[in-house]
Structures are given as C-alpha cells and as structure tokens.
Amino acid sequence: MKIEEFKLERTLSRFQNEVHYDLSASGIYPMFISEILDEEEMMEIYRNLQLRYVHTAGTMHFREAVSTFYDGMDPSNVFITNGASESLFMVAWQMVEPGDEVAFMVPNFMAIAQIVEANGARVRYFNLDPSKGWSLDIESLKKAVTPKTKLICVCNPNNPTGTILDDGQMKEIVDIADLVGAYIVSDEVYRGTERSGEVCTSFWGLYDKVIVVGGLSKAFALPGLRVGWIAGPREMIDQAWSYHDFLTVTIGTFSDHLGTRALQPEMREKIFQRNRRIATQNLSIFSEWVKSHEGVLSFTPPQAGCFAFPDFSLPVNSWDLVMDMVHNNSVFVVPGSCFGIENHLRMNFGVERNYLIQGLERIDLTINKFKQPISSVTF
C-alpha cells in the first residue's frame, strides 16, 4: 500500500521549526506539568513510577478516565493509542476494503481520506458551506453517500473552521448513515474547547455504529504526552488491538499516569477553563487584526478551538502566500490548500499574547506586499 504524501503534516514538519513565529498549530498553548501535578505528587512519581510497559490496549484506570468524558460509555469500548493520529490511521486501515466508499467532510484534517484511498476505497466529499458560516451542507452529504458507503467521516468541532454541528445536523447525519448501514467516524479531539463553556454533544450514543476519536493534544493542551483513543463497538475495539500490535504497541508509562490525572472531571474542567481563557482573550486580538485588513481578510469566528480559517482576497494562491511569509518574514501559518480549500489560511491564536501580536505584525508585511497592484508584486 503506497500512501501519497500527507501534505498538511509534511508542510508543518518542514516549516514549524524554521521560523521565529509559528502560528500554524491547531492546539492551545501547552500545559506545564506543574499545572497538573503539585511538588508532592511529582516526588511520588519520581520515587515510585516504574518505567515498564503498560497494558497495550490501555490501562483500565485510563480507559475508565476516558469513559467519564462521554455519556453512557463503558471502558470496554475504549482503546488507547499514541495520539489521535494513530487512532485515525488504525480506523482507516481496519474498517475499509478495496471497493468501499467513504463520505468525507471538507474542510478537514485529511488523514483518513488519504489512507482509505491508498487502501483502494473511493472518497466522496461533502461540504461545510462558507457562505453559511461553515454550516453543514446536508444536500452535499446526501449526494456523497451511496449504498457502498462504509464510513461517514466528520470532524466536530471542526478543524480548521472551529464550527460545531448542532443537534439537528447530527441527527440528519445519523439518519443518513443508518439508511445505508454506514459507520460514523467522528474526530472529536477539539471537544472541550467550546467558547460557550458548554461541552458539545458527542456522536457517542446517538447510533450503534459510531466510532469516536479523541486525544489529549488539542482540548487538553497536552500534545507532548502523545495520547489518543478510539471509542467504538466492542467487536471493532477488539479487532483494533491486533492492528495496534503492528504499530506502537503501547503508550508511555508517564503519559499513562499524567493522562489519567488530566482526565479526572475536576482536573479536566480546570484545564478547559484555562484554555478557554487564553483563547477568548486572544480571539479579540485576532478579530481586531482581521478588521484592520477589511476588504482583504474576513472570517467566521470559531465556536471552538484556538484557530481561525480566514479567507483572503489577494492575487496569489494560499501556498505562495504562506511561502512568502516563511521565507521573507519568518512567520508560518497553514495554507488552505492543505485542507482542500483554496484562498484560506488556518491561523492559530492560542499562543502567548505578545507572541501572537508580533507574529501578526510579520504577516502584515506579506499582506501589504500583495495588496499592491499586481504588476508591482515580485516573487
């Protein structure tokens, strides 16, 4: 199986560490260990945590902790992975055979689409509508689903737009999936980042063929732990274990310990409040910055997450615009082309305040350059 280059991750890995200002990420300013463990707890780990292999499907205490984040979930429906990216890979590898079809939401994190295509499946795309605040285009979903559809893949809250499906839209997706017997694969790694402060509805429990992917990197601001999970029907979870044996086998011992702590309801809410505070404060800075480029930039304020997906009106495509930022002003954001949408940029505002302001000032330089008459723009 040959998989085409994963353009988003390859682009991130090439440029994130080569610039002074990286506003490309999709996660919030990462937590410090001291925000989760006090000195006494840290010393207890120092003295007593043995760096052994943990249970390869996930320790029971971790699976129980994950299950508390969803209504009516049993720990036996949970499988622990090294990051949500591994979860997505395992789902795509396990669930699809040559000749199957997959209905895939765009814009989106494109991993599953590329993996299932490499595995011989056909991907049929459905849309979020930018003219309606990135609301679900239900007619495009109906056209994308056929009797051959094996998976309907959504990202909710959405990456890169930050929009959230409402309960009515979720019900429509469930009804369409049920009509053809398709599984719903819901990437919910941003669940917990809602600006409203109310955690959005999960697809879990709405339908008997739901597979939920989650993790600690985004809503929990713990990307360095590299912890994710799959929640699904028991038979699917049991089969996933055998696929996991070929990949990373197990997560790290410290990640298991700290991740379990982070998922406890009281700590979970503390983390979410911290992250919402950062995102809310910085979104006002970002919004004012977009307004300063009226006529060139516009965006739908995200309902969740610490990133936005503004569109731009400039005589240049998204890749070339970003490359100008990187090479001339040492600042990096993600071209919309990495999400299958042109004339857009994914921009992170969940960073330290002054860093954000200085990074946006660097982007000003590139925007102002391309705002000049086309004949005067040089590459």
- Which sequence spans correspond to the domains of the chain? 7-32+268-376, 50-267
- Residue 374, pLDDT > 60, answer no
> Residue 263 has what pLDDT?
98
- Residue 142, pLDDT > 80, answer yes
Q: How far, in Å, CA of 284 to CA of 356, rounded? A: 12
> Residue 302 has what pLDDT?
97
What end-to-end distance do the CA atoms of the chain give, in Å?
A: 38
| 3-state percent helix, strand, coil for the chain, nearest multiple of 5 | 45, 15, 40
- Could you tell me which CATH class the domain 7-32+268-376 is placed in? alpha beta
> Residue 373 has what pLDDT?
59
> Residue 331 has what pLDDT?
98
Cβ neighbour number for residue 301 with a 10 Å cutoff: 13
> Residue 340 has what pLDDT?
86
CA atoms within 13 A on the CB side of 290: 21
As a whole-number percent, the residues of the chain with pLDDT over 70 amount to 98
The lowest-confidence range among 152-156, 184-188, 200-204, 246-250 is: 246-250
Tell me the per-residue pLDDT of 312-355, one tens digit each, with 9 for 90 and over: 999 999 999 999 999 999 999 999 999 989 999 999 999 999 99
Question: What is the average pLDDT score of the chain?
Answer: 95
Cβ neighbour number for residue 379 with a 10 Å cutoff: 6
- With cut-offs at 50, 70 and 90, classify the pLDDT of residue 5: confident
- Residue 252, pLDDT > 70, answer yes
Contacts of 227 (CB under 8 A, 6+ apart): 80, 81, 82, 83, 215, 216, 217, 251, 255, 256, 259
- Residue 162, pLDDT > 50, answer yes
- Could you tell me which CATH class the domain 50-267 is placed in? alpha beta
Q: How far, in Å, CA of 230 to CA of 227, rounded? A: 11
- Residue 41, pLDDT > 60, answer yes
Residues β-bridged to residue 102: 123, 151
- With cut-offs at 50, 70 and 90, classify the pLDDT of residue 3: confident
- With cut-offs at 50, 70 and 90, classify the pLDDT of residue 276: very high
- Tokens of residue 28, six digits: 């919030």
Contact by Cβ (8 Å): 83, 247 = no
Tell me the per-residue pLDDT of 171-192, one tens digit each, with 9 for 90 and over: 999 999 999 999 999 999 999 9
Q: How far, in Å, CA of 207 to CA of 175, rounded? A: 9
> Residue 203 has what pLDDT?
98
- Residue 376, pLDDT > 80, answer no
- With cut-offs at 50, 70 and 90, classify the pLDDT of residue 379: very low
